[in-house]
């Protein structure tokens, strides 16, 4: 807040659940109210352009909705009006249908790009541009749109404008964007970046691909997830790599009596919002999803994160773990590790991270690192403990009657 009030550009890296939306809305709203209404020149165009005083750009419809709700909360009973544009409907129909003047615009990057194309928006009076989740946009292939938005904004009254970029990770592309478009900016990190806190217990468990489903059910059974009376205290996120596996696990767990919901990129915004609502309320304390889909929504700190599919790089691993752990409560992260996937790049960095976080390093990982350093051939299936499931499946391998001590 002091940086925003000082009218400095800002590049901030912050983990989930830190109140970033409020910390930007409050000082921006303060300056809008302090400066009073802006006298705009009357427009004689058939389709006049809009001139917002502040613009929030987010990565997804869910984020746009969340920011809009926060803006509405803080601008209640004031003269400041907010307007939201999302990608579910035609952008210009929404935009032209809003006849009243507004001060704060909240939109997705793709929609904002269209507004620039249609010459429907002007930056003449805009003094604040906030880009939320810029790392998600870059990973989602929106680099061109983001650069265009920043370029159009920074060229208009550079001495009076303020640009604020928010990210949860620290890729090199973001550093380039900051140096290219920010002027005299403050570089701020809140907590650890790309390194899990010490209040997250990390368990790397060797599980063969054919035993993953059985092992997942055994973990949920041991945690007592079927008892949804304590759902909000047992929130569990399951990260899966492929959309088809998300659907398959959703069906499997529902058939076995677990209150579960799921989310991925092919679901509609209504379906995604309903899934998030069911999860956050505790009605469905288990959510299965792809990393990209889960990153597009704001979730509370959960009790347990399960990496059903191990990510290929350490950055994605760190992002998954960022959803659990709290200063007042220890979180748990369980990762299913199998050498069927090419994880040779991840393993050394993962071992270093476990050591840095003072976590137990499994023997299977240490052996892989040692064999790699000595240029020895990595053991194959049948010779490695990685392919041996810690729990022997029973029956058809889909449902277990035994429990595990992995989360004890």
Q: Which residue has the higher pLDDT, 226 or 355?
A: 355
Lowest mean pLDDT among 124-128, 138-142, 211-215, 284-288: 138-142
User: What is the CATH topology of the domain spanning 200-387?
Assistant: Rossmann fold (3.40.50)
The pLDDT value given to residue 382? 38
For residue 238, pLDDT beyond 50: yes
Mean per-residue pLDDT, 202-212: 89
The predicted structure's pLDDT at residue 196 = 56
Average pLDDT of the residues in 399-404: 32
Instruction: Using the predicted structure, report yes or no on whether residue 69 has a pLDDT greater than 80.
Output: yes
Cβ(211)–Cβ(398) below 8 Å: no
Q: What's the pLDDT at 252?
A: 93
Residue with the larger pLDDT of the pair 168 and 93: 168
Residues 334 and 336: their CA atoms lie apart, in Å, by 7
- For the chain, give the percent of residues with pLDDT over 90: 23
Tell me, letter by letter, the H, E, C secondary structure of the chain. Answer: CHHHHCCCCEEEEECCCCCHHHHHHHHHHHHHHHHCCCCCCCCCCCCCCECCCEEEEECCHHHHHHHHHHHHHHCCCCCCCEEEECCCCCHHHHHHHCCCCCCEEEEEHHHHHHHHHCCCECCCCCCEEEECCHHHHHHCCCHHHHHHHHHHHHCCCCCCCEEEEEECCCCHHHHHHHHHHCCCCEEEEECCCCCCCCCEEEEEEECCHHHHHHHHHHHHHHCCCCCHHHHHHCCEEEECCCHHHHHHHHHHHHHCCCCEEEECCCCCHHHHHHHHHHHHHCCCCEEEECHHHHHCCCCCCECEEEECCCCCCHHHHHHHHCCECECCECEEEEEEECCCCCCCCHHHHHHHHHHHCCCCCCHHHHHHHHHHHCCCCCCCCCCCHHHCCCCCCCCCCCCCCCCCCCCC
Q: Which residues pair with 187 in a beta bridge?
A: 11
pLDDT of residue 318: 82
Q: Which residues of 96-109 are buried (b: 16+ CB within 10 A; e: fewer)?
A: eeeeeebbbbbbbb
The pLDDT of residue 30 is 93
Quote the pLDDT of residue 261.
94
Q: Which two tokens stand for residue 94?
A: 């929404």
Across 303-321, average pLDDT: 87
Give ∠ CA 92-94-100 in degrees, rounded to 5. 110
Residue 335 has a pLDDT of: 92
The pLDDT score that the predictor gives to residue 97 is: 56
CA distance 406 to 408: 6
Higher pLDDT, 43 or 271: 271
What per-residue confidence (pLDDT) applies to 125? 86
CATH architecture label of 2-190: 3-Layer(aba) Sandwich (3.40)
Look at residue 317 in the predicted model and tell me its pLDDT: 86
What mean pLDDT comes out for the span 24-52? 77
Q: Tell me: pLDDT of 406 over 60.
A: no
Stated pTM of the model: 0.63
Give the pLDDT band of residue 86 (cuts 50, 70, 90).
confident
pLDDT of residue 151: 81
Q: Evaluate whether 2-190 and 200-387 have a shared fold.
A: yes
pLDDT digits (tens, 9 = 90+) for 123-154: 888 889 999 888 777 766 777 778 888 887 87
Spans of all domains in the chain: 2-190, 200-387
Nearest to 325, CA basis, from 300, 344, 346: 300
The predicted structure's pLDDT at residue 403:
29
Residue 56 has pLDDT above 90, yes or no: yes
Of 119-128, 225-234, 277-286, 399-408, the poorest mean pLDDT is in 399-408
pLDDT greater than 60 at residue 391: no
pLDDT at residue 306 greater than cutoff 90: yes
Query: Across the chain, what does the average pLDDT equal?
Result: 78
pLDDT at 332 over 80: yes
């Amino acid at each position: 807040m002091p940086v925003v009030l000082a009218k400095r550009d800002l590049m901030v890296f912050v983990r989930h659940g830190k109140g970033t939306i409020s910390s930007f809305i409050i000082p921006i709203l303060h300056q809008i109210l302090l400066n009073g209404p802006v006298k705009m020149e009357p427009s004689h165009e058939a389709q006049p352009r809009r001139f917002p005083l502040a613009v929030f750009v987010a990565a997804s419809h869910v984020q746009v909705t969340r920011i809009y709700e926060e803006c509405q909360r803080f601008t209640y009973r004031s003269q400041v009006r907010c307007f939201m544009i999302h990608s579910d409907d035609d952008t210009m129909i929404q935009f032209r249908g809003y006849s009243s003047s507004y001060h704060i615009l909240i939109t997705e990057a793709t929609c904002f790009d269209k507004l620039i194309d249609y010459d429907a928006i002007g930056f003449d009076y805009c003094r604040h541009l906030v880009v939320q989740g810029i790392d998600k946009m870059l990973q989602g292939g929106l680099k061109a749109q983001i650069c265009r938005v920043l370029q159009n904004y920074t060229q208009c009254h550079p001495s009076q404008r303020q640009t604020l970029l928010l990210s949860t990770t620290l890729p090199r592309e973001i550093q380039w964007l900051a140096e290219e478009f920010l002027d005299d900016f403050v570089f701020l990190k809140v907590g650890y970046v790309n390194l899990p806190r010490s209040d997250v217990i990390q368990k790397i468990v060797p599980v063969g691909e054919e035993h993953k489903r059985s092992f997942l059910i055994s973990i949920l059974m041991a945690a007592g997830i079927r008892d949804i009376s304590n759902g909000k205290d047992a929130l569990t996120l399951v990260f899966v790599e492929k959309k088809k596996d998300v659907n398959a696990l959703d069906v499997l767990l529902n058939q076995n009596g677990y209150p579960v919901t799921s989310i991925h990129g092919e679901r509609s915004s209504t379906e995604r919002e309903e899934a998030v609502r069911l999860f956050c309320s505790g009605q469905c304390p288990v959510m299965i999803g792809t990393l990209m889909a889960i990153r597009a929504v704001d979730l509370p700190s959960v009790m347990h994160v399960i990496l059903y599919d191990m990510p290929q790089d350490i950055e994605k691993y760190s992002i998954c773990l960022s959803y659990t752990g709290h200063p007042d409560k220890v979180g748990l992260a369980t990762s299913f590790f199998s050498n069927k996937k090419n994880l040779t790049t991840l393993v050394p960095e993962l071992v270093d991270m476990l050591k840095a976080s003072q976590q137990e390093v499994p023997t299977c990982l240490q052996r892989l690192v040692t064999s790699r350093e000595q240029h020895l051939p990595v053991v194959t299936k049948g010779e490695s403990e990685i392919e041996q499931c810690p729990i022997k499946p029973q029956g058809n391998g889909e449902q277990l009657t035994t429990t595990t001590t992995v989360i004890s």
